[in-house]
Amino acid sequence: MCDTFVALNNATKDGSVIFGKNSDRHPNEAHELVFIPHATHPEGGDVKCTYISVPQVRETHAVLLSKPFWIWGAEMGANEHGVVIGNEAVFTKVPYDKQPGLIGMDFIRLALERAATADEALDVMIELLETHDQGGNCMFSGQMYYHNGFLIADPQSAWIFETAGKHWAAEKVRDVLTISNLISIGSSFDRASADLVSHAVSKGWCQSEADFNFSECYSDFVYTNFAAGKHRSCRIGELLAAHTGEIDLPFAMGLLRDHGPAADEDWLPGKGVLGAEVCMHASFGPVRGSQTTGAMVSHLASDRQTHWLTGTSATCTSVFKPVWIDAGLPDHTPAPTGLYDHATAWWRHENLHREVLRDYATRIKVIEEERNAIEAGFLTQIDELMDASQEARAAFTQSCFDNAEKSEAAWLAKVIDLPISHPRPILDRFAWQGFDRQAKRSSSHQAKLAA
């Protein structure tokens, strides 16, 4: 489960476009940050995606990806031309193709590598969908099949593109928009597959074009409701609408950390078996198996694009760090897997994240103020670096990652010795003990020694 939003230049404080996404996946599905440089390829070659190969293009753009470690594509990413894309699982009445094919994350990487504008990216994705369809297991631990919705943006414009098998519709964004785990396009859209309406009529989902509504006709009721996408989408939409004209980077980062209107100072993420907020925390039960495993906020100005990534799970316990595509990613740790590995930054952060969960209401307070101050410091220094050399900006990115890592180690040392004042629900504790066993992660005492 995920949430993605965009605010166009008529809705932001500085006239830029701001894009953000949380990627919600299995708690042990480590996220990896990857930079792939601009490249040329032999004529007539293929590119191997997660499951299948498709024809390669002659030239691919440089891309920055935030991706589940085992997937070729990405949950969200950006390219050298300022195009950014995020996807959402959507659940439809159209049967899912369980044979290996292109999955939603593959569409993102292929479009970023091939398109220089949001309009071009939409065209690339439509062609890929109509040529290759979508299919294959999208779950790291177990089996899950779904269709996809996408939010595509560049420094001038944005599109929402939602699919049900090979059927699709696309709507141009006018000011602010958020998508989640549901088809959100209704009866109004700018582009659509040729048979979108006729297929719905043939299935009896509507009587005619006059009463056609994409969401109402194609959505699967059960999975769409249990995914709680409408709840989260409405929450982000209300906050975006209330702040239109004042939306900036700190606000965007705060949106991805939102735990809902009921989250007071004593709020615990492990309560309930149906909880699903924007900053998602896994817990006990079949509909609480997803955790925010990575987050990205992109600041798309016409002259330069800055991408802020956590590269770690639980947006509320993570620090956003700035990256410029022309300056690349800093030296970082080996790629993580689904098993605990202290050598990787993602899993080192899990020591902090999972310790905070033991008494969230008390322990998050150790982090919040300093986390916000660190990001505010990064933002202040960014203004002085916009015209700096690639080398200078690369060095700054490295220092931001190092600063965040050092801070997280200090926070872990503090929280691990705090007494438990707000015990977590017992089912939540059992759930996380299970996640730790699956990942072969050490006990809290061993985590302290490792830190």
Here the CATH number for the domain that contains residue 112 is 3.60.60.10
| Domain-located, residue 344 | no
Is residue 400 part of the annotated active site? The answer reads no
Nearest of 235, 290, 276 to residue 68 by alpha carbon: 290
- In a domain, residue 398? The reply is no
In terms of residue numbers, what domain contains 265? Answer: 2-334
Stated as kind and residue range, the H or E segment containing 429 is: helix 426-439
Within-domain flag for 373: no
The per-residue DSSP string of 303-342 comes to S-EEEEE--SS-GGG---EEE-TTT-PPS-PPPP-SS--T
Q: Is 286 within the bounds of a domain? A: yes
Amino acid at 185: I
**Cβ distance 359 to 418 under 8 Å?**
yes
Q: Is residue 380 part of a domain?
A: no
221: helix, coil or strand?
helix
Mean pLDDT of each 10-residue bin along the chain, 451 residues long: 94 97 96 96 96 97 98 98 97 94 97 98 98 94 93 98 98 97 95 97 95 96 81 94 97 97 91 86 90 97 95 97 96 90 96 96 96 97 90 96 97 95 93 96 57 45
User: Over the stretch 17-73, which tens digit does the pLDDT of each residue have?
Assistant: 999 999 999 999 999 999 999 999 999 999 999 999 999 999 999 999 999 999 999
Which pLDDT score is estimated for 444? 52
Instruction: Write the pLDDT tens digit of every residue in 169-192.
Output: 999 999 999 999 999 999 999 999
Question: DSSP alpha helices (H): ranges in 51-209?
Answer: 104-114, 118-132, 196-202
Which residues contact residue 387 at a Cβ distance below 8 angstroms, ignoring those fewer than 6 apart? Answer: none
Alpha carbons within 13 A on the beta-carbon side of 19: 30
439 in a domain, yes or no?
no
Residues 6+ apart with CB under 8 A from 364: 316, 317, 356
Number of domain units in the chain: 1
DSSP state letters, 251-276: HHHHHTT---TT--TT--TT--SS--
* Residue 405 counted as domain residue: no
Residue 159 domain-assigned?
yes
Tracing tokens 């994705």 back to the chain, one arrives at: 125
Alpha-carbon torsion (83, 89, 92, 98), positive or negative? positive
